[in-house]
Protein backbone atom coordinates (compact mmCIF):
# COMPACT_ATOMS: atom_id res chain seq x y z
CA UNK A 1 0.00 0.00 0.00
CA UNK A 2 1.52 3.34 -1.04
CA UNK A 3 1.29 6.15 1.43
CA UNK A 4 2.56 9.68 1.91
CA UNK A 5 5.52 10.51 4.07
CA UNK A 6 4.29 11.89 7.39
CA UNK A 7 6.54 14.92 6.89
CA UNK A 8 4.44 15.91 3.86
CA UNK A 9 0.99 14.93 5.03
CA UNK A 10 -1.88 17.31 4.50
CA UNK A 11 -4.25 18.04 7.37
CA UNK A 12 -7.17 16.21 5.79
CA UNK A 13 -4.95 13.16 5.18
CA UNK A 14 -4.22 12.70 8.90
CA UNK A 15 -6.92 10.04 9.60
CA UNK A 16 -5.74 7.99 6.61
CA UNK A 17 -2.07 8.17 7.54
CA UNK A 18 -2.82 7.14 11.12
CA UNK A 19 -4.64 4.04 9.87
CA UNK A 20 -1.82 3.25 7.46
CA UNK A 21 0.66 3.58 10.30
CA UNK A 22 -1.30 1.07 12.39
CA UNK A 23 -1.49 -1.35 9.45
CA UNK A 24 2.27 -1.10 8.91
CA UNK A 25 2.94 -1.68 12.63
CA UNK A 26 0.73 -4.77 12.68
CA UNK A 27 2.41 -6.18 9.56
CA UNK A 28 5.86 -5.61 11.03
CA UNK A 29 4.85 -7.21 14.33
CA UNK A 30 3.27 -10.19 12.56
CA UNK A 31 6.40 -10.77 10.46
CA UNK A 32 8.74 -10.58 13.45
CA UNK A 33 6.68 -12.79 15.77
CA UNK A 34 4.98 -15.08 13.21
CA UNK A 35 1.64 -14.28 14.86
CA UNK A 36 -1.34 -14.45 12.49
CA UNK A 37 -2.88 -10.97 12.45
CA UNK A 38 -4.33 -11.19 8.93
CA UNK A 39 -7.90 -10.73 10.16
CA UNK A 40 -7.14 -7.52 12.06
CA UNK A 41 -5.02 -6.20 9.20
CA UNK A 42 -7.75 -6.90 6.64
CA UNK A 43 -10.31 -5.03 8.76
CA UNK A 44 -8.00 -2.02 9.06
CA UNK A 45 -7.27 -2.05 5.32
CA UNK A 46 -11.00 -2.05 4.58
CA UNK A 47 -11.54 0.78 7.06
CA UNK A 48 -8.66 2.73 5.52
CA UNK A 49 -10.04 2.33 1.98
CA UNK A 50 -13.47 3.49 3.14
CA UNK A 51 -11.92 6.52 4.84
CA UNK A 52 -9.98 7.38 1.67
CA UNK A 53 -13.11 7.25 -0.46
CA UNK A 54 -15.05 9.36 2.04
CA UNK A 55 -12.35 12.03 2.08
CA UNK A 56 -11.11 12.11 -1.51
CA UNK A 57 -14.53 11.87 -3.14
CA UNK A 58 -15.59 15.03 -1.29
CA UNK A 59 -12.58 17.32 -1.55
CA UNK A 60 -13.09 21.09 -1.50
CA UNK A 61 -11.45 23.21 -4.23
CA UNK A 62 -8.83 24.37 -1.71
CA UNK A 63 -7.99 20.79 -0.76
CA UNK A 64 -7.53 19.97 -4.45
CA UNK A 65 -5.12 22.88 -4.71
CA UNK A 66 -3.12 21.49 -1.80
CA UNK A 67 -2.92 18.15 -3.63
CA UNK A 68 -1.83 19.92 -6.83
CA UNK A 69 1.01 21.50 -4.83
CA UNK A 70 1.92 18.35 -2.89
CA UNK A 71 5.74 18.10 -2.52
CA UNK A 72 5.68 14.46 -3.64
CA UNK A 73 3.44 14.99 -6.65
CA UNK A 74 5.03 13.74 -9.92
CA UNK A 75 6.68 16.60 -11.82
CA UNK A 76 7.35 17.11 -15.52
CA UNK A 77 10.83 15.62 -15.13
CA UNK A 78 9.35 12.50 -13.49
CA UNK A 79 6.81 12.04 -16.29
CA UNK A 80 9.40 12.50 -19.03
CA UNK A 81 11.70 9.98 -17.36
CA UNK A 82 8.85 7.46 -17.00
CA UNK A 83 7.12 7.59 -20.39
CA UNK A 84 9.61 9.10 -22.85
CA UNK A 85 12.41 7.07 -24.43
CA UNK A 86 15.59 8.50 -25.99
CA UNK A 87 14.89 11.95 -24.54
CA UNK A 88 17.29 14.65 -25.71
CA UNK A 89 16.91 17.99 -23.93
CA UNK A 90 17.21 21.14 -26.04
CA UNK A 91 18.50 24.40 -24.56
CA UNK A 92 18.59 28.11 -25.24
CA UNK A 93 16.40 30.80 -26.77
CA UNK A 94 18.98 32.21 -29.24
CA UNK A 95 18.48 35.60 -27.64
CA UNK A 96 19.41 35.88 -23.95
CA UNK A 97 20.08 32.63 -22.08
CA UNK A 98 18.73 29.19 -21.23
CA UNK A 99 15.95 29.06 -18.64
CA UNK A 100 15.99 25.91 -16.46
CA UNK A 101 12.34 26.52 -15.49
CA UNK A 102 11.28 25.30 -18.95
CA UNK A 103 12.10 21.80 -20.20
CA UNK A 104 12.19 21.21 -23.96
CA UNK A 105 13.34 18.09 -25.75
CA UNK A 106 12.82 15.39 -28.34
CA UNK A 107 11.88 11.80 -27.57
CA UNK A 108 9.56 8.86 -28.18
CA UNK A 109 6.40 7.77 -26.40
CA UNK A 110 6.33 4.13 -27.50
CA UNK A 111 7.01 4.51 -31.23
CA UNK A 112 5.53 8.00 -31.50
CA UNK A 113 8.17 10.72 -31.92
CA UNK A 114 7.25 13.94 -30.12
CA UNK A 115 8.53 17.26 -28.86
CA UNK A 116 8.09 17.60 -25.09
CA UNK A 117 7.75 21.02 -23.46
CA UNK A 118 7.00 21.59 -19.78
CA UNK A 119 7.51 23.61 -16.63
CA UNK A 120 10.28 22.43 -14.32
CA UNK A 121 9.68 23.06 -10.61
CA UNK A 122 12.75 21.30 -9.28
CA UNK A 123 13.23 18.36 -6.90
CA UNK A 124 15.59 19.65 -4.21
CA UNK A 125 16.05 23.12 -2.75
CA UNK A 126 18.91 24.11 -5.04
CA UNK A 127 17.03 23.08 -8.18
CA UNK A 128 13.82 24.74 -6.99
CA UNK A 129 15.66 28.02 -6.47
CA UNK A 130 17.40 27.81 -9.86
CA UNK A 131 14.03 27.14 -11.53
CA UNK A 132 12.28 29.86 -9.51
CA UNK A 133 9.85 27.16 -8.33
CA UNK A 134 8.53 26.59 -11.84
CA UNK A 135 8.08 30.22 -12.89
CA UNK A 136 9.81 30.82 -16.25
CA UNK A 137 11.38 34.06 -17.44
CA UNK A 138 10.73 35.40 -20.98
CA UNK A 139 13.67 33.36 -22.27
CA UNK A 140 11.89 30.19 -21.11
CA UNK A 141 8.85 30.98 -23.22
CA UNK A 142 11.02 32.03 -26.16
CA UNK A 143 12.89 28.72 -25.89
CA UNK A 144 9.60 26.81 -25.86
CA UNK A 145 8.27 28.60 -28.94
CA UNK A 146 11.55 28.17 -30.81
CA UNK A 147 11.48 24.41 -30.23
CA UNK A 148 7.78 24.18 -31.14
CA UNK A 149 8.48 25.89 -34.46
CA UNK A 150 11.20 23.33 -35.09
CA UNK A 151 8.73 20.50 -34.33
CA UNK A 152 6.25 22.12 -36.71
CA UNK A 153 8.88 22.17 -39.45
CA UNK A 154 9.56 18.44 -39.07
CA UNK A 155 5.95 17.37 -38.52
CA UNK A 156 6.36 16.26 -34.89
CA UNK A 157 3.38 16.30 -32.50
CA UNK A 158 3.90 18.54 -29.47
CA UNK A 159 3.06 17.61 -25.87
CA UNK A 160 3.22 20.25 -23.13
CA UNK A 161 3.10 19.63 -19.39
CA UNK A 162 1.76 22.60 -17.42
CA UNK A 163 2.75 22.99 -13.77
CA UNK A 164 3.48 26.56 -12.72
CA UNK A 165 2.17 29.06 -10.17
CA UNK A 166 2.68 31.67 -12.89
CA UNK A 167 5.32 33.37 -15.03
CA UNK A 168 8.18 34.92 -13.07
CA UNK A 169 7.14 38.47 -12.00
CA UNK A 170 10.61 39.94 -11.35
CA UNK A 171 11.86 43.29 -12.63
CA UNK A 172 14.29 41.69 -15.07
CA UNK A 173 11.56 39.49 -16.53
CA UNK A 174 9.31 42.52 -17.05
CA UNK A 175 12.16 44.51 -18.59
CA UNK A 176 12.73 41.70 -21.08
CA UNK A 177 9.06 41.68 -22.11
CA UNK A 178 7.40 38.89 -20.13
CA UNK A 179 3.83 39.71 -21.20
CA UNK A 180 4.87 40.38 -24.81
CA UNK A 181 6.71 37.05 -25.10
CA UNK A 182 3.75 35.11 -23.68
CA UNK A 183 1.43 36.89 -26.12
CA UNK A 184 3.75 35.92 -28.99
CA UNK A 185 3.56 32.30 -27.80
CA UNK A 186 -0.24 32.37 -27.87
CA UNK A 187 -0.13 33.61 -31.45
CA UNK A 188 2.61 31.20 -32.45
CA UNK A 189 0.98 28.11 -30.96
CA UNK A 190 -2.32 29.01 -32.64
CA UNK A 191 -0.69 28.62 -36.07
CA UNK A 192 1.17 25.34 -35.57
CA UNK A 193 0.32 22.73 -38.22
CA UNK A 194 0.95 19.70 -35.99
CA UNK A 195 -1.12 18.14 -33.18
CA UNK A 196 -0.65 19.94 -29.86
CA UNK A 197 -1.63 18.21 -26.60
CA UNK A 198 -1.53 20.29 -23.39
CA UNK A 199 -1.70 18.54 -20.02
CA UNK A 200 -2.16 20.36 -16.71
CA UNK A 201 -0.40 18.09 -14.20
CA UNK A 202 -0.41 20.34 -11.13
CA UNK A 203 -0.74 24.10 -11.00
CA UNK A 204 -2.08 25.97 -14.01
CA UNK A 205 -1.28 29.55 -13.06
CA UNK A 206 -2.58 32.27 -15.36
CA UNK A 207 -0.51 33.49 -18.32
CA UNK A 208 2.42 31.40 -17.17
CA UNK A 209 0.34 28.33 -18.00
CA UNK A 210 -1.20 29.77 -21.18
CA UNK A 211 2.27 30.47 -22.57
CA UNK A 212 2.53 26.75 -23.42
CA UNK A 213 -1.21 25.99 -23.21
CA UNK A 214 -2.71 26.65 -26.66
CA UNK A 215 -3.49 23.15 -27.89
CA UNK A 216 -5.94 21.07 -29.87
CA UNK A 217 -6.60 19.07 -26.72
CA UNK A 218 -6.36 20.28 -23.13
CA UNK A 219 -6.19 17.55 -20.50
CA UNK A 220 -6.07 17.85 -16.72
CA UNK A 221 -5.12 15.47 -13.97
CA UNK A 222 -8.04 15.05 -11.60
CA UNK A 223 -6.56 17.07 -8.73
CA UNK A 224 -4.81 19.77 -10.75
CA UNK A 225 -6.17 23.30 -11.16
CA UNK A 226 -6.19 25.96 -13.89
CA UNK A 227 -6.95 29.57 -13.01
CA UNK A 228 -6.47 33.18 -14.02
CA UNK A 229 -5.06 33.88 -10.55
CA UNK A 230 -4.09 31.95 -7.44
CA UNK A 231 -6.63 31.81 -4.59
CA UNK A 232 -4.17 33.72 -2.38
CA UNK A 233 -3.81 36.45 -5.01
CA UNK A 234 -7.55 36.66 -5.54
CA UNK A 235 -8.18 36.90 -1.78
CA UNK A 236 -5.57 39.64 -1.43
CA UNK A 237 -7.36 41.70 -4.11
CA UNK A 238 -10.97 41.10 -3.04
CA UNK A 239 -10.59 40.92 0.74
CA UNK A 240 -7.17 42.51 1.26
CA UNK A 241 -6.06 39.32 3.01
CA UNK A 242 -4.85 35.91 1.87
CA UNK A 243 -6.71 34.40 4.83
CA UNK A 244 -9.78 34.19 2.58
CA UNK A 245 -7.98 31.88 0.15
CA UNK A 246 -10.42 29.00 0.65
CA UNK A 247 -13.38 31.24 -0.15
CA UNK A 248 -11.53 32.51 -3.23
CA UNK A 249 -10.85 28.94 -4.37
CA UNK A 250 -14.58 28.24 -4.24
CA UNK A 251 -15.57 31.18 -6.42
CA UNK A 252 -12.74 30.91 -8.98
CA UNK A 253 -14.11 27.63 -10.44
CA UNK A 254 -10.61 26.32 -11.07
CA UNK A 255 -10.92 22.55 -10.62
CA UNK A 256 -10.84 20.01 -13.43
CA UNK A 257 -14.53 19.27 -12.87
CA UNK A 258 -15.41 22.98 -13.17
CA UNK A 259 -13.43 23.45 -16.36
CA UNK A 260 -14.82 20.28 -17.89
CA UNK A 261 -18.37 21.49 -17.22
CA UNK A 262 -17.54 24.79 -18.98
CA UNK A 263 -16.19 22.95 -22.03
CA UNK A 264 -12.71 24.41 -21.59
CA UNK A 265 -10.87 21.10 -21.23
CA UNK A 266 -11.29 17.88 -23.18
CA UNK A 267 -10.52 15.17 -20.62
CA UNK A 268 -10.00 14.63 -16.91
CA UNK A 269 -7.36 11.97 -16.26
CA UNK A 270 -8.34 10.13 -13.04
CA UNK A 271 -5.76 10.03 -10.27
CA UNK A 272 -5.19 7.15 -7.86
CA UNK A 273 -7.27 7.35 -4.70
CA UNK A 274 -5.37 9.80 -2.51
CA UNK A 275 -3.67 11.70 -5.33
CA UNK A 276 -1.05 11.15 -8.01
CA UNK A 277 1.78 11.02 -5.45
CA UNK A 278 0.39 7.80 -3.94
CA UNK A 279 0.86 5.74 -7.11
CA UNK A 280 3.06 7.51 -9.72
CA UNK A 281 3.41 4.46 -12.05
CA UNK A 282 -0.38 4.30 -12.41
CA UNK A 283 -0.65 7.97 -13.32
CA UNK A 284 2.25 7.60 -15.79
CA UNK A 285 0.39 4.79 -17.56
CA UNK A 286 -2.82 6.82 -17.71
CA UNK A 287 -1.01 9.87 -19.06
CA UNK A 288 0.74 7.81 -21.71
CA UNK A 289 -2.49 6.15 -22.88
CA UNK A 290 -4.36 9.45 -23.06
CA UNK A 291 -1.61 11.33 -24.88
CA UNK A 292 -1.14 8.63 -27.52
CA UNK A 293 -4.90 8.31 -28.04
CA UNK A 294 -5.32 12.04 -28.67
CA UNK A 295 -2.28 12.20 -30.96
CA UNK A 296 -3.73 9.30 -32.95
CA UNK A 297 -7.06 11.10 -33.35
CA UNK A 298 -5.50 14.43 -34.31
CA UNK A 299 -2.98 12.91 -36.73
CA UNK A 300 -5.88 12.24 -39.10
CA UNK A 301 -6.32 16.01 -39.60
CA UNK A 302 -4.41 18.16 -42.07
CA UNK A 303 -2.31 21.13 -40.97
CA UNK A 304 -5.07 23.57 -41.94
CA UNK A 305 -7.67 21.49 -40.11
CA UNK A 306 -5.53 21.43 -36.95
CA UNK A 307 -5.21 25.22 -37.02
CA UNK A 308 -8.97 25.62 -37.52
CA UNK A 309 -9.71 23.09 -34.78
CA UNK A 310 -7.50 25.01 -32.34
CA UNK A 311 -8.91 28.38 -33.37
CA UNK A 312 -12.52 27.26 -33.02
CA UNK A 313 -11.80 25.66 -29.66
CA UNK A 314 -10.51 28.85 -28.07
CA UNK A 315 -13.06 31.12 -29.75
CA UNK A 316 -15.83 29.14 -28.08
CA UNK A 317 -14.40 29.73 -24.61
CA UNK A 318 -16.38 32.35 -22.78
CA UNK A 319 -19.52 31.94 -24.85
CA UNK A 320 -22.71 31.46 -22.92
CA UNK A 321 -26.40 31.28 -23.52
CA UNK A 322 -29.24 32.75 -21.54
CA UNK A 323 -32.23 30.49 -21.53
CA UNK A 324 -35.54 32.00 -20.55
CA UNK A 325 -38.16 29.65 -19.23
CA UNK A 326 -41.57 30.72 -20.42
CA UNK A 327 -44.64 29.39 -18.75
CA UNK A 328 -47.35 28.83 -21.27
CA UNK A 329 -50.83 28.87 -19.89
CA UNK A 330 -53.68 27.31 -21.79
pLDDT digits (tens, 9 = 90+) for 204-257: 988 999 999 999 999 999 999 999 998 999 999 999 988 899 999 999 999 999
Q: Looking at the structure, do residues 50 and 120 belong to the same domain, yes or no?
A: no
Q: Looking at the structure, do residues 288 and 236 belong to the same domain, yes or no?
A: yes
As a whole number of angstroms, the distance between CA 77 and CA 259 comes to 26
Q: Which residues pair with 112 in a beta bridge?
A: 109
pLDDT grade for 42, boundaries at 50, 70 and 90: confident
CATH code where residue 298 lies: 3.90.226.10
Instruction: Assess if residue 126 is contained within a domain.
Output: yes
Q: Looking at the structure, do residues 76 and 52 belong to the same domain, yes or no?
A: no
As a whole number of angstroms, the distance between CA 304 and CA 287 comes to 27
Higher pLDDT, 14 or 71: 71
For the chain, percent of residues with pLDDT exceeding 90 = 70
Instruction: Assess if residue 324 is contained within a domain.
Output: no
Instruction: Assess if residue 3 is contained within a domain.
Output: no
Q: Looking at the structure, do residues 159 and 257 belong to the same domain, yes or no?
A: yes
Q: Looking at the structure, do residues 158 and 268 belong to the same domain, yes or no?
A: yes
In this prediction, residues 123-143 reach a mean pLDDT of 93
Looking from the CA of 188 toward its CB, the CA atoms found within 13 Å total 21
pLDDT digit string, tens, across residues 55-111: 888 899 999 999 999 999 999 999 999 999 999 999 998 989 999 999 999 999 999
Task: Tell which of 58, 84, 100 closes a domain.
Answer: 58
Res. 4: pLDDT tops 80: no
- Residue 145 has a pLDDT of 97
Task: Tell which of 42, 58, 74 closes a domain.
Answer: 58
Instruction: Assess if residue 327 is contained within a domain.
Output: no
- Residue 323 has a pLDDT of 55
Structural domain that includes position 47 = 8-58
The pTM of this model reads 0.88
Instruction: Assess if residue 44 is contained within a domain.
Output: yes
Q: Looking at the structure, do residues 141 and 43 belong to the same domain, yes or no?
A: no
Q: Looking at the structure, do residues 193 and 271 belong to the same domain, yes or no?
A: yes
Instruction: Assess if residue 328 is contained within a domain.
Output: no
Res. 1: pLDDT tops 70: no
Task: Tell which of 58, 74, 94 closes a domain.
Answer: 58
Q: Looking at the structure, do residues 206 and 297 belong to the same domain, yes or no?
A: yes
- Residue 273 has a pLDDT of 87
- Residue 22 has a pLDDT of 84
Q: Which of 38-47, 56-65, 137-146, 243-252 has the lowest mean pLDDT?
A: 38-47
pLDDT grade for 164, boundaries at 50, 70 and 90: very high
Q: Looking at the structure, do residues 31 and 79 belong to the same domain, yes or no?
A: no
Res. 2: pLDDT tops 50: no
Q: Looking at the structure, do residues 44 and 151 belong to the same domain, yes or no?
A: no
Which of 88, 170, 57, 78 has its CA nearest to residue 122? Answer: 78
Q: To the nearest whole number, what is the mean pLDDT of the chain? A: 90
Q: Looking at the structure, do residues 236 and 302 belong to the same domain, yes or no?
A: yes
Res. 126: pLDDT tops 70: yes
Indicate the number of domains in the chain: 2
Instruction: Assess if residue 329 is contained within a domain.
Output: no
Which of 73, 315, 109, 326 has its CA nearest to residue 197? Answer: 109
As a whole number of angstroms, the distance between CA 88 and CA 111 comes to 15
Q: Looking at the structure, do residues 181 and 48 belong to the same domain, yes or no?
A: no
Instruction: Assess if residue 1 is contained within a domain.
Output: no
Amino acid sequence: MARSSNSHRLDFEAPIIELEKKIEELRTFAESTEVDLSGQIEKLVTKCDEKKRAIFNNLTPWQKILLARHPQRPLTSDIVKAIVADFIELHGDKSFRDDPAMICGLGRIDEQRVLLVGHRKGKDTAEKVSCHFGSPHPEGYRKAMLKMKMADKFGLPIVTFINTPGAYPGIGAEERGQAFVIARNLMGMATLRVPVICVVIGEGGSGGALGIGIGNRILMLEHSYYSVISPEGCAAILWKSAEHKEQAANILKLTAEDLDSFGIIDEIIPEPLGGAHRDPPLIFDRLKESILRHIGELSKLSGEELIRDRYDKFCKMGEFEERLKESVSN
